[in-house]
Structure formats: structure tokens, C-alpha cells
């Protein structure tokens, strides 16, 4: 399992990095989304992989940490998902505004002199 | 009043007065004068009451501990020397206030003036009364700041602004040097306490950091006192109102520099470096100032250079590094303050009553203002060093000190001759001030007919001139005790014998005085013709313009150098920056492995073929999205959704149900948002047949980026694998698992962490979400789409054309028809989704769900209505006001947190209990449910606000499009209905 998830995270991250280095704003926004998937999974993986042990207490009382997946990375990732949604929305609007103002969708706001 | 309180009152009173003065009406000249005058006078009286305590060499201290572990205390300390300065500052301050009442015009906004003046007085008192060096530097910078504001008081004049800026730049740069120097002193001595620093002179002088310390402190003092080569700011500061000049350049501001030199002389002085650095700076300034002053055509300009010259004289005396020199320096500080303040005021009266300060246009004013003329002449004579006036006494002491041998160098031997020559210049410009202004034929063509000023405007001058006379005639009976206390405070046991007698017999210094006097008269008459020719500035040195050099340096530093560095090291292009960022991240990530070696543990779980298959799809989606994002945006978006779904499945698989839920709805909402945005991005078509070298360049760029991306991907994969296979260290997660129910009252640990343990983070997060939504809304209100995106999309055009061809159809029917059944289902889904959202919200604390998911789910319900009915239909029916939802959410969340205060608990402390509801059974009632309600409400509001803001654009631009064709009256743009 670990190797599959690691390779998956790597593929997402590599694709994301490739895209954020591209000159078009839409490529960058897709790249950032891919990167955020990779990073969210990475953070989750830092709590180690557990299958069939969601961090929901089965009994009302003091929980045993060994029985449940690590809840802390999950709480962090939950926050990260919402924030990355917000930044994607913001970036989308900046992208559109910049496209209208500069007449180009190049990340620098102007085409490279060729 | 106890003496400790006394000191605090003296320092605080001017600041309090300053605040009060700022509040008065802008034409309240009299009230301002009463307030400021009373403040200054009270301070003066308070200072005077301290004299008995310090007269015999005593020191009053008041220490308030602030950060004792860093040696930072608020320490006030007054000894004889500080007392003398405090009297000068408050006394002359009072006279300046009185004078300013008549000088300032009724149209000037006086509250600002008096407020700054009082604050400046407070800052100066802070400097002289500081018992801690850091505190001294603080007040030092305050004087720079307030002098900037005072010099630039008439900010409508360009010279005032330039002069103020230059003064600020020079003196506060010096202040920073002083700060560094003080830190070094603190490092050497181990404390910033003034008493201990003064007692550690030997330690400082023998330390290997002595030279840098000395240089830094001197840079501070010499810039403040306008010593060569930093003298150029002072003449430009003459753009200030004359009361300010009279105050800043007689008793305060520039005297702060020499104050500091004398204050720190016991600690830093007594070395060859001191002698050479301070002595030569003073000597050059003394000569240069006196020489340039002769050739000034502006009365205040003459006085400005004379101030520079006299400060040079004082600095030279301090630099001579002998106790008698210090005595003479302190005495001359006192004398210079009195005669220079009165001269500035007299110059201001002349300017005020005749309308000009140009010496070439003034003459014969004696006939028009005999009293003022007499006063000014006496003060000028004191400046020249005429016997029976105070200037004579300190100048005699000065001459006597220059005759003494100091280090036996050639310069030392020549010193008496040089200073006699420079004093000749002093006499010459003093004579010029008297003769060119007050004697000669009556003036012609003045803007106003000169006359005597109002009674009380002249009063400060009278008082100061009286002081010059009294001190000059009976020195030991008047100034003697104060001077003695001041000298003893600095020199302690080394205080030499000195005499304040007027007549010492026929001494060499008397001969020097006579020589300077007669030489000065001769020089004046020799230069008279040249001066009348009206040339501005001195011969020989006219080209050496300090201001121009200063400006060149500033332009170089702040513009050319910055630009050059930016061109060399920076780029405004995003791609190189990101490339650098990724590269650095790779290096930073690799460094620890390079140092510690890379190893992995054993995989914990076996490979599940299903999971592998899911990720094969996920990887394909990611790579496909990367490949297609440039030319096939929609396909890339779909593939991105696929990758997101795989992430979502992984969350389910890996025991993270909350994440999976959230990811799923976020994925939906994000996709819709991006789809809405796609419409505004014009089609991109691959260019065919680009130029050869350009293609090669692109290929090279791509190869490089691909390498970087592959490395990054591989590195992340390796890092993730290595971390996942290592055993888990003991974590803080244990705490959350164990206490989620017992302290948080919920079984869904993730939710308890979010709304309870880390509730403050969540509050911050929803605030960010709200800010983003508002920003999106604000950005889109001024949205201008790209020109090629304005017309209707092709598909809509075809559909509309079809509708238009058939008379029985209305425009838009085709799309409505196609959507009939989906729209019906979507509308029916609205309440269902609402119930699901409520379900998620209510179970959140105990089972997967929560405010975030519920809010986003609710937003999805709204999006569906959009799709079903279209923008017009939806906006006409939109009854939720997203801004109110957001505001309500934030208030509820923060209010729930704040409510804990009512029960004496810290912010966001939660409370929970179970209520037994009949039929339903126990229902959890935790205060965090309210908090989660805030989260829910804000998420709904923010998401809907963003969506409708983007979707609304499609309505706006179509209406805007026809306007470009003709001059039709524009309908008022329809506002988005969100408020």
C-alpha cells in the first residue's frame, strides 16, 4: 500500500510542478490543484496508513490511540482542503481579471518577447 | 512633590500638553499659547525646584523596571549638567512659545505647531534626563522626528519639505549609527545604565571594539550637531518658521549632539582618536561655518552658518580633551543658546515687520525699530565676543585652552593662530549683521514699512539680551553656581580651577581677542564692496554644495543602485521565480538525507490490487491533465476531477471519512467554479510553424521543466515512502484520542479537534474564507472580460438563431427544452440536499460530518438551481443574502467563543451536556454545536457569494456588449443582488 500511495503522490506532485512552471494561467491553476491533492495525501500519510480504523470513537469514554487512525493529520488536511478551495477560487478570479486587463493569459501579464 | 515623581512629571508634561494642544481649534492662537506657555513654565519651575538637590553634586534618579533581564529600565536621572540643559530647554522653550504667539499668522493651523513644539520639548527633556542609553537613543530619534515635522510645518512650500526631509535623513541616519554605537557600549560594559557606563571609561577605552564604538557614537553626535561633513542640513532647515529655528538651533536639537559628546566624554574621551576625530571635525566646522557665514545674503542663512560655526567651536573644545576645555564648552553652550535665540528672534521680527530677510535690501532699520535694533546689536556683539557680554567670557576661555599644548603636533602648535583667524570671520559676520541691517540709508522698496513689533513679541528678546549682559558683567553671581554644578557633574573630582572674572590682566588670549576684533572689522570693510555686489555664497567654496552631493548620494542609493541590483538579482517573471523555488525546495529537502543517509523501513501493509488500480487511474488522470491543460481546458478539468476523485477514494480507504466527504463536495464546487471561469478564457489553438530557434528554445525550456518536475515527483514519492515505512514516534495525537470525548464531548475526534481543541484555528480559517469571498466579489465588480470573450458563445448563438428562425419559439427555448427534465429533478433535489446538509451538520460531532461539509453541501444545492434555471431565473429568486450569512456565521462563531468569558473561562472554552428529549432520546447539546453553526453559515455564505459573483458576469457582459457600438443611453448597471 505504501509504495502505491507514494508513487501516486509523486505522480500528482510531478504533474503539478510541471504545470505550475508552464506559462499559461489555466495550466498553473490546474497545477496548483494537483499539488494540493498531493500535499493533502502526503500530510495524511504522515499519520501512517490505517485501513478500517476511522478516528470515530466506538465507545463514549477515553479512547485508545492504538485502535484509531491518527486524527491530527486529518484535522490538518480538512483545513487544508477548505483553504485550497478558497485560494483556487481567488486565483480563478485573479486569472480572469488579469486576462481582461492585459489581454493575455500569460502568467507575467504579457507575452514573452520572441 | 517627591523628587522621583518630579522627574516623571517634567518629561511627561510636555507630551500631555502636546496631546491637548492638538485637540484645540485651528484658530485658537491665544488658548494654544496659554496652554503651551503654562506647560513650559511649569516644567521650568519644576526643574528649578530640583536645583538644591543637585547643586552640591547630587544626582536624582528614578528607575522604573521594564525588562530588567535585558538591562532595559526606564531611568530618569538629573545631575548638574542635565539640569542646566533642562533649564535651557524649558526656559527658552517658554520664550519661544510666547514669541510664536505673535509670529504665527492667524491663518496658520497653530494646534499642529504648538503640539509638535511641545512634543519636541518633551523629547529633548527625555534626552537630557535619560539615565539609560537605549532610552536616550529613543528620545534622540523622537527629536529627529519632531524636528522633521516642525521644519516641514509649512508643508505647502517645497523648500520646507526638502529641508525637513534632509534634516530627517541625516539626523535619523546618525541616530541609527548612535543606536549601534550604544549597543556596542552596552556589549562592552554589560549594561546600558548611564552611571555605570560613565564609570567604565577605562574598560571601554581599552576594549578592542573601542574604535567602532567611538566612530558610531560620533556619527550620531556630529550629524545632530551639524558638524562637517554633515553640516549641510542645517541651513536648509531654515525653511522652518523662525520660532522653530530659534528653538532648534539655539537651545535644543543641534545642542543634543554636543550634549551627548560631553555626557559620554568621561566614558569615551581621553584618547588620541577622540582628540583627532572630534577636534578636527570641530575645527573644520568652526572655520568653514564662519567663513561661509560672511557671504550669506539671507539673515537666517547668516545665523545658520554662524550656528554651525559656534557648534564647531564647542565641538573643538570638547575634542581638545582637557577638563578646562569641557568647562569652556559647557559655558559656551549656555552663552550661545542665549545670544543665538535672541538673534533668531530678532531676525524673525525684522522679517515679520519689514517683509524680507535679504540683507541686500535691508538697511537703516535703526530709525524704524530702535529698541529691536539695540537688542539685536547687543546680541550680535555677544556673538562676536565683545567684552562685558557673555560671549566674550567663553571665548576667552576658548582662546586660553587653544594655547595649551595637547598632543604637541604641528596642528596643535598652529591652533591659536588658526582660531584667531576664524574668530576674525566671526567678528566680520557679526559686524555685517549689525551694520548692513541697521545702519546706512533708509531701505527702499520693502514689502512693508518696518516698525517696532508688539510689546510681548519683543519681550523674549529683551529677556535673553538682558541675560547676555548680566552674565557678561557679573558672571560668578549669576551663572556661576549653575555652571559649577554642571561642570562638576561631568568632571567630578577632576574639576579644574577656573575663573569667571572679566579681567585677567594682559594675557595672550586678550591679545588674540583684540587681534580678532580689529582683524574682523578690517575684513568686513575689505569685503564690503564684494558683498554689496549681491553675489550669493562664498568665493572658492561656491561649487562645493553639500546639498547636491547629498541628493546625488540619495538618488544613487535609493534608485540607481536599487535598480541595478534588481536587474542583476531579481526578475519580474513568475516562471524563473517558481523554478528557483522548486529547485531550492528540492535542495532543502535533499540536504538532510545527504547528511544523514536515506533509509526506508518495512512496508506495514500488503498491496491491495484494487487500490493499485484506483491509483493507476489517478496517475493517468494527473498526467493527462498536465498534458492537456494548455489546449484542451475542459478535458484537463475533467481529468483533474478524476484525480480528485481518486484522492477522495484514498481518503475513504485510509480511514479518513471526514476528509473523503469534504473532498467530494469541495471537488464538486471547485469544478463548477472553474467551469464558470472557462467561459471567459478564449480558445487557444496550437500555433503552426514557429521559427526554428524559438522552437528549440521552447524545447530546451520544456526539457528543463520536465526534469525539474520529474525530480520533484520522485523526491516527494521517496520522501513519502520513507516516512510511511518508519515507525511512528510518540505523537500529540494521543492526547486528542484520549480526551476527545471526556473533554470535548464528541466521538468524532477530527471534528472535536476542529471545533473544540483547535477552535481558534478554525475561527481563523473561516475568517480567511470570508475574506476570500469578499475579495472575489470585489474583484469581479470591476471585471472587464477579454474582448474576444464578450460575444455570446458559439453554441448559444446557434441555439438562439434556431429559435429566432421559428416564429412560434422565444429566444432561449431550445436550452430550456433540453433542460426541462434535469431542471425538474434538480429543483426537486433542493430540499433533499438541504436535509442531507442538516443531517451532516447535526451528526458532525459524533460521526463523520460537520459544519464545513454541511455548508458546502448546502452550497451545492444552490449551484444545482443555477444550472437548472439559469442566471436570470436564479437571481430573480435568490432570497438568501450571502453577506448576511457570512456576517452571522462569523459573529456566532466568535460570540460562542467569547461567551466563555461570561463564565470566567478562556476564549472558546466549550461546554457540553446531553438533553433528554421525549421520543428521540438523549441529544448532545454542546456549545461547539453553536460554533459549528457559525462555520456552516459562513461556508454557505462565502461559497454562494463566490459562485453568484462569477456566474453573474455572464449577465453583465452581454448587456455591456452593445454599448460599444453606438451612443445609446446606458442603462444603470444592475447590481448583484447580494446585499
Instruction: Return the residue of B nearest to A113 by Cα.
Output: B694
Query: What pLDDT, in 10s, does the model give residues B876-934?
Result: 877 768 888 999 999 998 888 888 787 777 777 777 766 666 666 666 667 778 888 99
Which of the given ranges, B273-277, B355-359, B870-874, has the highest pLDDT on average? B273-277
Contacts of B633 in chain A (CB under 8 A): 26
Strand, helix or coil for residue B74: strand
* Shared domain check, B360 and B508: yes
| Residue A95 maps to a domain | yes
Of A75, A83, A89, the CB nearest to B946: A89
Q: Which residue, A88, A13, A20, A92, is CA-closest to A45?
A: A13
Q: Check whether B959 has a pLDDT greater than 80.
A: no
Confidence band for B45, pLDDT divided at 50, 70 and 90:
very high
Q: How confident is the model at residue B191, as a pLDDT?
A: 87
CB-CB under 8 Å, B787 with A92: no
Q: Check whether B74 has a pLDDT greater than 80.
A: yes
CB-CB under 8 Å, A78 with B658: yes
* Shared domain check, B564 and B459: no
Q: How confident is the model at residue B961, as a pLDDT?
A: 47
To the nearest whole angstrom, how far is the Cα of A95 from the nearest Cα of chain B? 9
Mean pLDDT to the nearest integer, B152-171: 90
At residue B41's C-alpha, the angle toward residues B35 and B45, to 5°, is 145
Count interface pairs A-B at CB distance under 8 A.
Answer: 336
- CA distances in angstroms from B292 to B614, B615, B923, listed in the order given: 88, 85, 91
* Shared domain check, B223 and B241: yes
Q: What CATH number corresponds to the domain at position A92?
A: 1.10.287
Query: What pLDDT, in 10s, does the model give residues B486-526?
Result: 988 888 878 888 888 777 778 888 889 899 999 999 998 88
CB-CB under 8 Å, A57 with B654: no
Phi-psi region of B298 (alpha: psi -120 to 50; beta: other; left: phi over 0): beta
| Residue A59 maps to a domain | no
- CA distances in angstroms from B135 to B72, B489, B582, B722, B931, listed in the order given: 8, 20, 45, 54, 46
Q: Check whether B368 has a pLDDT greater than 60.
A: yes
Percentage of the residues of chain B whose pLDDT score is greater than 90: 38
Contacts of A35 in chain B (CB under 8 A): none
* Shared domain check, B149 and B289: no
Question: Which H or E run contains B76?
Answer: strand B72-78
Mean pLDDT to the nearest integer, A74-80: 91
Q: How confident is the model at residue B88, as a pLDDT?
A: 93
Q: How confident is the model at residue B924, as a pLDDT?
A: 63
* Shared domain check, B858 and B925: yes
Measured distance between the N- and C-terminal CA atoms of chain A, rounded to whole angstroms: 48
Contact by Cβ (8 Å): B291, B321: no
Instruction: Return the residue of A nearest to B695 by Cα.
Output: A114
CB-CB under 8 Å, B605 with A1: yes
Q: Which three cell numbers stand for residue B505?
A: 590682566
CB-CB under 8 Å, A27 with B630: yes
Contact by Cβ (8 Å): B158, B169: no
Mean pLDDT to the nearest integer, B127-146: 93
Q: Who contacts B645 (Cβ-Cβ below 8 Å, separation ≥6)?
A: B664, B667
Q: Check whether B973 has a pLDDT greater than 50.
A: no
Lowest mean pLDDT, pick from A102-106, B455-459, B468-472, B883-887: A102-106
| Residue B717 maps to a domain | no
Q: Check whether B84 has a pLDDT greater than 80.
A: yes
Distance separating alpha carbons of residues B418 and B927, to the nearest angstrom = 86
Count other Cβ atoms within 10 Å, centred on residue B444: 8
CB-CB under 8 Å, B769 with A50: no
Query: What pLDDT, in 10s, does the model give residues B661-699?
Result: 999 999 989 998 898 888 888 777 776 655 677 778 888
* Shared domain check, B748 and B848: yes
| Residue B693 maps to a domain | no
Q: How confident is the model at residue B594, as a pLDDT?
A: 87
**What DSSP letter does each residue of B883-936 carry, written as one string?**
HHHHHHHHHHHHHHHHHHHHTT--TT---EEEEEETTTEEEEEEHHHHHHHHHH
| Residue B353 maps to a domain | yes
pTM of structure: 0.67
Residue whose C-alpha cell reads 523555488 in the numeric block: B581
* Shared domain check, B349 and B253: no
CB-CB under 8 Å, B721 with A81: no
CB-CB under 8 Å, A83 with B654: no
Beta-ladder partners of B923: B915
Q: Which residue has the higher pLDDT, B585 or B1?
A: B585
Distance separating alpha carbons of residues B530 and B226, to the nearest angstrom = 28
| Domain closes at, from B522, B539, B556 | B539
Q: Check whether B148 has a pLDDT greater than 60.
A: yes
Query: What pLDDT, in 10s, does the model give residues B728-743?
Result: 777 788 888 888 888 8
Instruction: Return the residue of A nearest to B707 by Cα.
Output: A18
Residue whose C-alpha cell reads 460575444 in the numeric block: B791
Instruction: Return the residue of A nearest to B655 by Cα.
Output: A54
| Residue A113 maps to a domain | no
Q: Which residue has the higher pLDDT, B869 or B346?
A: B346
Mean pLDDT to the nearest integer, B617-621: 94
CB-CB under 8 Å, B712 with A47: no
Q: Which residue, A45, A90, A35, A2, is CA-closest to B659?
A: A45
Which of the given ranges, B69-73, B324-328, B786-790, has the highest pLDDT on average? B324-328
Q: How confident is the model at residue B542, as a pLDDT?
A: 58
CB-CB under 8 Å, B680 with A99: yes
CB-CB under 8 Å, A71 with B736: yes
| Residue A60 maps to a domain | no
Mean pLDDT to the nearest integer, B122-143: 93
Contacts of B854 in chain A (CB under 8 A): none
| Residue B691 maps to a domain | no
| Domain closes at, from B236, B264, B292 | B264
Best B786, B787, B847, B947 residue to mutate vs chain A (most A CBs within 10 Å): B786
Number of domains in chain A: 1
Contact by Cβ (8 Å): B776, B950: yes
Contact by Cβ (8 Å): B429, B357: no
Contacts of B754 in chain A (CB under 8 A): 75, 78-79
Confidence band for B970, pLDDT divided at 50, 70 and 90:
very low
Q: How confident is the model at residue B567, as a pLDDT?
A: 83
CB-CB under 8 Å, B717 with A7: yes
Beta-ladder partners of B63: B75
Q: How confident is the model at residue B636, as a pLDDT?
A: 93
Distance separating alpha carbons of residues B968 and B961, to the nearest angstrom = 12
Q: Check whether B624 has a pLDDT greater than 90.
A: yes
| Residue A8 maps to a domain | yes
Query: What pLDDT, in 10s, does the model give residues B643-657?
Result: 999 999 999 999 899
* Shared domain check, B329 and B239: no
Average pLDDT over all residues of chain B: 86
Domain that holds residue B513: 270-539
Mean pLDDT to the nearest integer, B829-837: 92
Instruction: Return the residue of B nearest to A81 by Cα.
Output: B663
Query: What pLDDT, in 10s, does the model give residues B693-712?
Result: 777 888 888 899 999 999 99
Q: How confident is the model at residue B691, as a pLDDT?
A: 65
Of A70, A85, A107, the CB nearest to B670: A85
Average pLDDT over all residues of chain A: 88
Contact by Cβ (8 Å): A93, A29: no
Query: What pLDDT, in 10s, does the model give residues A57-67?
Result: 888 888 888 88
| Residue B712 maps to a domain | no
Domain that holds residue A7: 2-50+68-102
- CA distances in angstroms from B600 to B593, B723, B725, B755, B790, listed in the order given: 11, 8, 6, 36, 56
Q: Check whether B408 has a pLDDT greater than 80.
A: no
| Residue B414 maps to a domain | yes
| Residue B582 maps to a domain | yes
CB-CB under 8 Å, A71 with B753: yes
* Shared domain check, B300 and B318: yes
Number of domains in chain B: 4
Query: What pLDDT, in 10s, does the model give residues B583-593?
Result: 999 999 888 88
Q: Which three cell numbers stand for residue B602?
A: 518495512
Q: What's the residue count for chain B?
A: 979
| Domain closes at, from B558, B590, B622 | B590
Count other Cβ atoms within 10 Å, centred on residue B575: 19
Confidence band for B123, pLDDT divided at 50, 70 and 90:
very high
* Shared domain check, B296 and B231: no
Instruction: Return the residue of B nearest to A87 by Cα.
Output: B772
Amino acid at each position: 500500500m505504501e509504495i502505491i500511495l507514494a508513487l501516486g503522490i509523486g505522480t500528482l506532485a510531478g504533474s503539478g510542478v510541471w504545470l505550475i512552471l508552464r506559462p499559461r494561467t489555466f495550466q498553473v491553476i490546474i497545477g496548483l490543484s494537483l499539488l494540493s491533492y498531493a500535499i493533502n495525501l502526503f500530510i495524511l500519510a504522515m499519520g501512517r496508513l490505517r485501513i478500517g480504523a476511522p478516528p470515530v470513537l466506538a465507545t463514549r469514554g477515553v479512547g485508545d490511540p492504538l485502535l484509531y487512525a491518527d486524527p491530527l493529520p486529518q484535522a490538518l488536511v480538512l483545513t487544508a482542503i477548505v483553504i485550497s478551495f478558497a485560494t483556487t477560487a481567488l486565483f480563478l478570479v485573479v486569472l480572469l481579471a488579469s486576462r481582461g486587463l492585459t489581454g493575455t493569459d500569460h502568467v507575467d501579464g504579457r507575452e514573452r518577447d520572441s | 512633590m517627591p523628587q522621583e515623581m518630579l522627574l516623571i512629571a517634567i518629561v511627561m508634561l510636555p507630551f500631555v500638553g502636546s496631546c491637548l494642544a492638538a485637540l484645540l481649534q485651528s484658530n485658537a492662537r491665544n488658548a494654544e499659547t496659554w496652554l503651551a506657555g503654562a506647560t513650559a513654565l511649569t516644567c521650568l519651575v519644576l526643574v528649578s525646584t530640583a536645583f538644591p538637590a543637585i547643586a552640591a553634586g547630587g544626582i536624582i534618579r528614578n528607575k522604573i523596571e521594564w525588562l530588567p533581564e535585558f538591562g532595559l529600565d526606564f531611568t530618569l536621572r538629573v545631575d548638574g549638567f542635565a539640569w542646566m540643559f533642562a533649564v535651557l530647554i524649558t526656559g527658552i522653550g517658554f520664550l519661544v512659545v510666547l514669541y510664536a504667539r505673535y509670529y504665527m499668522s492667524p491663518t496658520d493651523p497653530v494646534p499642529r505647531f504648538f503640539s509638535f513644539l511641545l512634543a519636541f520639548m518633551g523629547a529633548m527633556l527625555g534626552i537630557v534626563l535619560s539615565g539609560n542609553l537605549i532610552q536616550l537613543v529613543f528620545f534622540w530619534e523622537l527629536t529627529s522626528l519632531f524636528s522633521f515635522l516642525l521644519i516641514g510645518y509649512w508643508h505647502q512650500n517645497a523648500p520646507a519639505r526638502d529641508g525637513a526631509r534632509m534634516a530627517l535623513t541625516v539626523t535619523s541616519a546618525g541616530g541609527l549609527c548612535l543606536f549601534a554605537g550604544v549597543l556596542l557600549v552596552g556589549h562592552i560594559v554589560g549594561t546600558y545604565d548611564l552611571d555605570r557606563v560613565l564609570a567604565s571609561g577605562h574598560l571601554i577605552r581599552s576594549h578592542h571594539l573601542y574604535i567602532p564604538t567611538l566612530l558610531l557614537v560620533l556619527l550620531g553626535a556630529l550629524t545632530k550637531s551639524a558638524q562637517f561633513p554633515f553640516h549641510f542640513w542645517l541651513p536648509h532647515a531654515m525653511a522652518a518658521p523662525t520660532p522653530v529655528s530659534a528653538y532648534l538651533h539655539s537651545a535644543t536639537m543641534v545642542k543634543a549632539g554636543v550634549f551627548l559628546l560631553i555626557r559620554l566624554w568621561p566614558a569615551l574621551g581621553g584618547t588620541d582618536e577622540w582628540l583627532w576625530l572630534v577636534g578636527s571635525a570641530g575645527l573644520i566646522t568652526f572655520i568653514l561655518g564662519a567663513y561661509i557665514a560672511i557671504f550669506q545674503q539671507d539673515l537666517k542663512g547668516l545665523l545658520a552658518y554662524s550656528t554651525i560655526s559656534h557648534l564647531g567651536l564647542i565641538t573643538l573644545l570638547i575634542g581638545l580633551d582637557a577638563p578646562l576645555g569641557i568647562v569652556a564648552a559647557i559655558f559656551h553652550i549656555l552663552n550661545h543658546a542665549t545670544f543665538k535665540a535672541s538673534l533668531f528672534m530678532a531676525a524673525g521680527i525684522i522679517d515679520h515687520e519689514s517683509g524680507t530677510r535679504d540683507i541686500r535690501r535691508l538697511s537703516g532699520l535703526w530709525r524704524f525699530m530702535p529698541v529691536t535694533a539695540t537688542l539685536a546689536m547687543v546680541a550680535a556683539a555677544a556673538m562676536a565676543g565683545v567684552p562685558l557680554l557673555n560671549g566674550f567670557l567663553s571665548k576667552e576661555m576658548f582662546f586660553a585652552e587653544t594655547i595649551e599644548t595637547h598632543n604637541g603636533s604641528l596642528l596643535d602648535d598652529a591652533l591659536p593662530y588658526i582660531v584667531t583667524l576664524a574668530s576674525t570671520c566671526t567678528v566680520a559676520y557679526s559686524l555685517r549683521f549689525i551694520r548692513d541691517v541697521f545702519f546706512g540709508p533708509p531701505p527702499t522698496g520693502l514689502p512693508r514699512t518696518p516698525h517696532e513689533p508688539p510689546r510681548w513679541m519683543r519681550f523674549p528678546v529683551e529677556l535673553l539680551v538682558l541675560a547676555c549682559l548680566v552674565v557678561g558683567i557679573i558672571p560668578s553671581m549669576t551663572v556661576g553656581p549653575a555652571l559649577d554644578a554642571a561642570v562638576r557633574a561631568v568632571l567630578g573630582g577632576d574639576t579644574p580651577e577656573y575663573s569667571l572674572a572679566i579681567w585677567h590682566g594682559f594675557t595672550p588670549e586678550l591679545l588674540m581677542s583684540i587681534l580678532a576684533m580689529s582683524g574682523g572689522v578690517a575684513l568686513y570693510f575689505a569685503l564690503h564692496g564684494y558683498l554689496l555686489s549681491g553675489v550669493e555664497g562664498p568665493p572658492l567654496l561656491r561649487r562645493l554644495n553639500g546639498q547636491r552631493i547629498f541628493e546625488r548620494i540619495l538618488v544613487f542609493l535609493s534608485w540607481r543602485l536599487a535598480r541595478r541590483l534588481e536587474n542583476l538579482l531579481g526578475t519580474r517573471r513568475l516562471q524563473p521565480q517558481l523554478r528557483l523555488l522548486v529547485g531550492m525546495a528540492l535542495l532543502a529537502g535533499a540536504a538532510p538525507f545527504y547528511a544523514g543517509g536515506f533509509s526506508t523501513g518495512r512496508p506495514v501493509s500488503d498491496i491491495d490490487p484494487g487500490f493499485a488500480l484506483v491509483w493507476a487511474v489517478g496517475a493517468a488522470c494527473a498526467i493527462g491533465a498536465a498534458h492537456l491543460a494548455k489546449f484542451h481546458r475542459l478535458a484537463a478539468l475533467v481529468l483533474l476531477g478524476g484525480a480528485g476523485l481518486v484522492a477522495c477514494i484514498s481518503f475513504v480507504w485510509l480511514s479518513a471519512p471526514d476528509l473523503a466527504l469534504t473532498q467530494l463536495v469541495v471537488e464538486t464546487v471547485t469544478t463548477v467554479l472553474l467551469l464558470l471561469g472557462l467561459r471567459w478564457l478564449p480558445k487557444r489553438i496550437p500555433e503552426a510553424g514557429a521559427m526554428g530557434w524559438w522552437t528549440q528554445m521552447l524545447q530546451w525550456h520544456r526539457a528543463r521543466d520536465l526534469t525539474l518536475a520529474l525530480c520533484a515527483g520522485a523526491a516527494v514519492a521517496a520522501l513519502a515512502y520513507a516516512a510511511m515505512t518508519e515507525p511512528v514516534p510518540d505523537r500529540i495525537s494521543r492526547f486528542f484520542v484520549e480526551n476527545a470525548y471526556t473533554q470535548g464531548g464528541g466521538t468524532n475526534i477530527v471534528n472535536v479537534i476542529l471545533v473544540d481543541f483547535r477552535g481558534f484555528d478554525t475561527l481563523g480559517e473561516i475568517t480567511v474564507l470570508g475574506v476570500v469571498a469578499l475579495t472575489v466579489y470585489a474583484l469581479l465588480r470591476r471585471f472587464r472580460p477579454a474582448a474576444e470573450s464578450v460575444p455570446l458563445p458559439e453554441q448559444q448563438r446557434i441555439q438562439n438563431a434556431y429559435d429566432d428562425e421559428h416564429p412560434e419559439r422565444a429566444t432561449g427555448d431550445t436550452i430550456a427544452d433540453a433542460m426541462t427534465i434535469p431542471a425538474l429533478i434538480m429543483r426537486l433535489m433542493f430540499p433533499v440536499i438541504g436535509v442531507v446538509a442538516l443531517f451532516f451538520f447535526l451528526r458532525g460531532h459524533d460521526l463523520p460530518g460537520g459544519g464545513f461539509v454541511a455548508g458546502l453541501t448546502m452550497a451545492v444545492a444552490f449551484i444545482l438551481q443555477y444550472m437548472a434555471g439559469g442566471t436570470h431565473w436564479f437571481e430573480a429568486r435568490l432570497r438568501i443574502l450571502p453577506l448576511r450569512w457570512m456576517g452571522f456565521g462569523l459573529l456566532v462563531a466568535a460570540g460562542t467563543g467569547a461567551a466563555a468569558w461570561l463564565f470566567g473561562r478562556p476564549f472558546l472554552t466549550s461546554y457540553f451536556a446531553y438533553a433528554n428529549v421525549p421520543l428521540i432520546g438523549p441529544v448532545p447539546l454542546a456549545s461547539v454545536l453553536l460554533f459549528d453553526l457559525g462555520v456552516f453559515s459562513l461556508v454557505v455564505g462565502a461559497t454562494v457569494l463566490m459562485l453568484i459573483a462569477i456566474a453573474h458576469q455572464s449577465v453583465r457582459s452581454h448587456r455591456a456588449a452593445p454599448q460599444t457600438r453606438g451612443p445609446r443611453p446606458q442603462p444603470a448597471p444592475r447590481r448583484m443582488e447580494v446585499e
